[in-house]
Structure 1
């Protein structure tokens, strides 16, 4: 996982947790705008989310944050 993707995921998770609490769920799409302006980054995230970790569409932000921090 690239440092830029890791940083982006952690920022989004922190923001969502601060806004809605520790039980907030997020999807892979929370890290990207509706316009696909970074397809390489999206594919990297999708591979990590779907293929590497076999995560569900929605997961708890604290779980995603813990997974990212384990690298």
Structure 2
């Protein structure tokens, strides 16, 4: 149960980080977003994505470790 919850939270945080940073868009959309955003907006978006990744990594690692211990 613990690995599933921790892993699920980690994966959800990684997906949210990818969506918020714009990684899942195609090149034309990225170019359009780059030219319509202010540098402050890009910095804020990057900050939130990095925070989510920093939150996700320990959850995923914890899920892997707990999975290995319990099995």
The normalised TM-score by structure 1 is: 0.39
Higher relative contact order (CA 8 A, sep 6+): 2
More strand by share: 1
For normalisation by structure 2, the TM-score amounts to 0.39
Which of the pair is proportionally richer in helix?
2
